[in-house]
Amino acid sequence: MAATDPLVHTARWRVRHYECDPNGHVNNAVYLNWAEEVAIQHADAAGFGPAWTTAQGGAWVIHRQAITYHHPARHGDEVVLTVWVQLVRGVRGTRRTEVRRGHDDRLLAEVATEWVWVRLSDGRPSAVPAQVVDAARPATTATLAGRRRGDRRDRDGVRDRTTPG
């Protein structure tokens, strides 16, 4: 079914003028929009896009996002966004997105997004379809194993950079 890697996806684009604040930096909210966009592109490329979700009677909605800013992006910069599926179980799925500057690979921001699968009929949370759970199983297993080993990540999946290791 999948036309692309169901666990990792990368996209590139240029920062547009209207995405910048008066200081010439990308507006903070834009990073969250980018994380959502690259996740949707990924789902579509992996065969789990809008037509598939509608056929399943459900949809993903963002429950929570957390962002860590490292350096600003500016108008005209090429940004490279890589999104990883971290975990899918129950009604939830989590993804991590890194935003890097294209010409020097500098980390600009990290975004952790928690998605919830909802039924289209009533908007209530529902179990994620088995096909998605199965496709994400390697990532889910690795994420849970990391937690058992004491991998220092906050509840949003962003690495605690204050702790060595």
3-class DSSP state of 93? strand
What percent of the chain shows pLDDT beyond 70? 89
Bridge partners, residue 38, by sequence: none
- Considering the domain boundaries, does residue 155 fall inside one? no
Q: Which residues of 124-145 are buried (b: 16+ CB within 10 A; e: fewer)?
A: eebebbeebbebbeebbeebee
Note whether 3 and 46 are within 8 A (CB): yes
Statement: residue 85 has pLDDT above 70: yes
Instruction: Tell me which residue range forms the domain holding 52.
Output: 8-148
What does each C-alpha distance from 148 to 89, 140, 141, 151 come to in angstroms? 17, 12, 11, 7
Tens digits of residue pLDDT in 11-43: 999 999 999 999 999 999 999 999 999 999 999
Q: If you search the block for the tokens 């490279």, which residue do you land on?
A: 80
pLDDT band for 151, please (50, 70, 90 cuts): low
**What's the pLDDT at 152?**
56
Note whether 115 and 48 are within 8 A (CB): no
pLDDT band for 147, please (50, 70, 90 cuts): confident
Which CATH number belongs to the domain containing residue 75 in this structure?
3.10.129.10
Statement: residue 153 has pLDDT above 80: no
Cα gap 132→59, rounded to integer Å: 12
Q: Please count the structural domains in the chain.
A: 1
- Considering the domain boundaries, does residue 2 fall inside one? no
- Considering the domain boundaries, does residue 153 fall inside one? no
**What's the pLDDT at 1?**
44
- Considering the domain boundaries, does residue 141 fall inside one? yes
